[in-house]
Amino acid sequence: MNLYKKSLLALVCAVSVSAYAADSAPSAPNAPSPSPVKKRSKCDCTAIQEKAVSSLGFDPASEQGQIMLRFVKRATSSNSKLSERIQSFNEPSMADEKLSAAERLHTLALMRTMLTATPTDCKVYLDAIKEEGSTDFMHKMSPQALQAMLDTIEIRALHEPSDDDTDTGGTIEEKLETHKYLRTAFKVDENGVRTPPPTQCEQIPLMIDHVLATPKPKQDRASLALLRVLDLHPSAPRMVLRQPETYLNEAFDERVLPESIRSSLPADGSRPLPFKRAVFDLEVVSKGETTTSQRLTSTVINRRNNGVLAAFTAPTVASGDVDWTELGLGYGLATLRSHFVESRINASQANQLEQAAVVAANTPLKEGMTLRVPFPQPDFRGEKERVCTVGGERQASTVFAKLTGAAIDLHCKMTSAKGGVTELHTVWLTDYQLESILSVQNQYGKNEVVIRDVKFE
């Protein structure tokens, strides 16, 4: 349970008790109501309010107790929206509310105070997140931190619906880019390693300062993304790892490609294929100093029978989240769009801008010929193209028994930005108009990819 929710649930109890006391107090006899709106009767409820504050672990005479008492009194004052709003909260979450951009920035500034007002406040915050259901943390907070926390609650309680178009965080691609931007709050070396690695108590203020200093319009989405992080929501990469096909359907579609590429692709229905969906069960056998293996599931989707295929590949797991997924949109040997998503790697979506890629994809494969196929950019490995030599043709059933038609061998090489060379052995499956990897070799060893099963729908 997040800290915000626990503190709010505690306040619901305190405010509800005090509000009930105010509503139950006797009013003046025959006093006419000035309006049809029900107003809370005036009464001296201080003793009950102090008791409610004490129930939360505060001494009403202490500085923290006085802060809490003022909040409860204000919430239960006549015509106060605060009491009604607080008592109506259900499954509270700062990130779920459509706060305006200004409200989000104010909330983040207050949260920074909650963490940095005194040297002990951050530890109280982190301990509170770990203590499921406990509200003991509230009376351990410094007066400044406690006041800041109550102010964040009041912002949300008194919030009015916003028309801010950033309240959903944008598209999945935009959310991933925003997540990547948040991580730039930390200094990294040339290998992308944080230097020095910040502690948890350093990370959050760094990210808050980073967002507060960000110019609009990027700041709007960044503020929402950071509130989600602080509210313990799954990150944008984690959501993609859990539901990759949602991202695939949104962003990996030829209709959203640049016009220069889209207009060069075949018409819908002009390249009929014998499947709408193909699911490959793969085993990757790594042959280095020791031999290891990993199972992968690769799903290929044929949307419009035009030769363009969308696909995503991820480790096969019995339950729980996967560590990574790679999504792509391809036509022939050309990759039109790709994205390697992993929560710890800040790779961006890569897009094909070279017309030469489509030309290569349209070139008939003849044994002995060489093809240069540009990669989408920016490629997270720093590779610009692959150079492929076309090999001989054989029966596709020699690759896997269920496959029909021919398989054409391809031997390709790619060079990374750091000069590392990767050799790729693939086959082009003519009946399915798709490429299947057989092996990958680089300076770290060789991986052989074996098809264990394939299901066509």
Token pair listed for 199: 């502690």
* The predicted structure's pLDDT at residue 410: 98
State the chain's mean pLDDT as an integer: 85
- Predicted confidence band at 193 (pLDDT cuts at 50, 70, 90)? low
* The predicted structure's pLDDT at residue 354: 94
Distance of alpha carbon 270 from the chain centroid: 37
- How far is CA 91 from each of CA 1, 8, 121, 230, 316, rounded to the nearest angstrom? 10, 10, 25, 16, 33
Taking alpha carbons only, the member of 185, 299, 178 closest to residue 243 is 299
Give CA–CA dist 144/119, Å, rounded. 12
Average pLDDT of the residues in 139-146: 91
* The predicted structure's pLDDT at residue 35: 46
CB 440 within 8 A of CB 427: no
Strand partners, 428: 408, 435
200-235 pLDDT, tens digit each: 888 999 999 999 999 998 999 999 999 988 888 888
Q: Which residues are CB-neighbours of 421 under 8 A, at least 6 positions away?
A: 413, 414, 415, 442, 443
* The predicted structure's pLDDT at residue 169: 75
Break the chain into its structural domains and give their ranges.
3-25+39-157, 172-238, 243-456
* The predicted structure's pLDDT at residue 28: 43
Average pLDDT of the residues in 255-273: 94
φ, ψ dihedrals at 455, nearest 5°: -125, 125
More confident position, 443 or 298: 298
| pLDDT exceeds 70 at position 433 | yes
Give CA–CA dist 395/132, Å, rounded. 60
11-52 pLDDT, tens digit each: 555 555 454 444 444 444 444 444 444 444 445 577 878 888
- Predicted confidence band at 55 (pLDDT cuts at 50, 70, 90)? confident
Asked which of 33-47, 229-243, 271-285, 312-326 is least confident by mean pLDDT, the reply is 33-47
Token pair listed for 13: 């109890």
Average pLDDT of the residues in 382-389: 96
* The predicted structure's pLDDT at residue 342: 92
Q: Which residues are CB-neighbours of 322 under 8 A, at least 6 positions away?
A: 241, 314, 315
Give CA–CA dist 337/328, Å, rounded. 6
pTM of the model: 0.81
Helix or strand or coil: residue 306? strand
Give CA–CA dist 63/26, Å, rounded. 32
Q: How many CB atoms lie within 10 A of CB 96?
A: 13
CB 4 within 8 A of CB 229: no
Instruction: Give one DSSP letter per residue of 351-415, joined into a string.
Output: E---HHHHHHHTSPP-TT-EEEEEPPBS-TT---EEEEEEEEEEEGGGT-TT--SEEEEEEEEEE
- How far is CA 344 from each of CA 65, 183, 206, 233, rounded to the nearest angstrom? 42, 10, 18, 16
Strand order across the beta sheet in which 385-395 lies: 350-351, 334-342, 324-331, 308-315, 291-302, 277-287, 445-456, 434-442, 421-429, 406-415, 385-395, 370-374
